[in-house]
Structure 1
Amino acid sequence: MSKKIDDQGTVILATNGKGPWDSSDPTDNGTASDPSGRGGESKQDPVNPWDPTPGPAARTRARGPSLEEMLRGIGAGFGGLPKRPNGKSWFPLIIGVFLALWLVWTSIHRIGPEQEGVVMQLGKYARTVQPGIQFTLPAPIENITKIDTRQIQTISIGSPKAGSENLILTKDQSIIDIAYDVRWSIKEPELYLFQLDNPPETVKEVAESIMRAAVANFELIQAIGPGRGAIELEVRRGMQQVLDEYRAGVLIQSISIRQSDPPAEVTDAFREVNAAQQRRESYLNDARAYASRVTELALGETAEFDKIYVQYKQAPEVTKRRLYYETMEQVLGKVDKTIIESGGVMPYLPIPEFQKKAAQKTEPVVVTGNKQ
């Protein structure tokens, strides 16, 4: 290729009648196209960059290695192993042992005494197996998930800390801060796995809802005192009913209220009110006890009077005289008295006076003041 300049100053490229993709001159011996001057070397034909048809090497790279080449490469990896006595390769035997181990590992399962196994066949629930040695089809045809159905799980709701109060409204429009524990376990593992997205969170939300509904049926005094047992029983029954409707596969074991107090802002005032109510109950109990004693005494006197009346009907005069003597004995038994008969005053020994004087003499004499 050479350059020429015409009369107007335009550069003209001369190609000597050859295009950029023409083959080299066979008589050139490589000197024209080989600036290095190394003659005798063959020169490949240039490739047209706009030709959409790839060459043989490009087509081979696009297809990738063939199956025969891959197997030959795998066999080459075990080429360093010694031959078996019969002259065969160890490669098939190794593959067989690997498959046997895979079948045993994925087909035989040990289910613990506190567990149950949920078997899925091709991603779909198939059956539930009990504790012991169980067999399934090898993976990935069947997979087994072990679920601990004997473990008691606990969810704590509310806290004694002031920053995490769990306030609930009672029947008498009062507010209490309640904290409690929910103990639950899994009774149907297949439902537990597939029915709910997050079973523990569902159990917690159901517990909070049922607890609010149960506390709303009790007044403040009952909710913080004698009614706590009834609240726990009602919450347990309500939660089990709702979770059964959800088909959650969960069994509620127990509800335990750890704290049931008024809010911290009114604790002092509430304690004063509670103390006043306790005093009121104490006074009422004393009054009831006194009324019971008086009633029992009156009933006893009535029964005694009925007996005397029966005797009076049988012997009126004798009964009157006996009643008279008993009454006089009760009236005059503790006073000083003098007996006077119709014939005059009868002297008698005043034993009560002697008893009084003797008692006075035996009493200690207390002397006060300083002795001069």
Structure 2
Amino acid sequence: MSAGLELGSADEVRPWGMWRYRALLPLADGVIRYPLPVGGTPMIGPDRLRRVVGMPNLWVKDETWGTSGSSKDRATALVLENGLRAGATTITTASTGNAAIATALGASAVGMNAVIFVPAGCPAAKVARMRIAGALVLRVVEGYRAAFELSREAAARFGWLDRNTGANPLTLEAKKTVAFEIWEQLGRAVPDIVVVPVGDGPTLVAMGRGFRELRAQGVSSRVPRLVGVQAAGCQPLVRMWQSRPESSLRHSGTVADGIDVPEPISGAEALTEVADSGGAFVAVTDQAMLDAVETLATTAGISSEPAGAASLAGLHKARRLDLVGADETTVLLVTGRELAVNADVPCRGKEALIHARIEDVERHVGDLT
């Protein structure tokens, strides 16, 4: 058994933070400087939800307990911890919302500048959360893929710390700790199925990596089947999974902005992880996700955003397709909570609408360069 998994007896009380697994993370020795709590989120088995769904062995891994309210805190923490050790002063990322909020809050906590690239239609409440933390938010007219590429170009041009998932390998390393926690919280057992909302794909990819590492460490003998869930209005990976990449179905958008990614950065890796696990991809409607938001609130006490509740909507769909058995041990990953912002709260950060040109970035970053 690896030193990273020598966690004491099952009855021993130990902290649940992500740094608990530092021996399995690409992190040199030394005191952890990142000040915010990260990881150690609860996994619950609400009786009411189990009865509603008809699955006695259903669990919910609730990532809404993080500082930013989403699973993106883990990747942000590891990238910033390594950045602090390297003397970085500015961090950047592209995001549809949650990763950007986590980055803005984390950067503020460690005294680093944050330059965030988002698609022009990013929800105002999420942009406000970034600006309250002091970030410079650049809305990119050409959409998320262009925002991602521009963020990466800016990081290279100005020497910024690049937090972009799908580009910085530390992000996957951090996200895999969700799998470690699930294993521990199930009494050091692997579930039969894990259901994961999928936008860009790295969260699902990291989940597969984490369970494979547990198997490689000799503490489990298998990996769970992974079920990836996309929105009906944005389902590029579902189309690829069903071998219909040229389908007449086009991107029409979705209320689940967290998974509204027409061109997933880690799509190929996500498809491979699902195939290797014996899992599947499913698509769910906006109404199904909104219904799942209500169900999670009324039966489990979880306040989720539509993208986070996609896992529950996807479970219903998977059950109808006979992809999941009623008695199987199943974990739903709820990735983020609904956000509300008081309009009267002052924002230290700024925002601007730009085109995907590095010259536009230069006009706004000022002395950050």
Please give the TM-score of this superposition, normalised by the length of structure 1.
0.16
Normalized per residue, the structure richer in strand is 1
Q: Which entry has the higher C-alpha Rg, 1 or 2?
A: 1
Of structures 1 and 2, the one with the larger relative CO (CA 8 A, separation 6+) is: 2
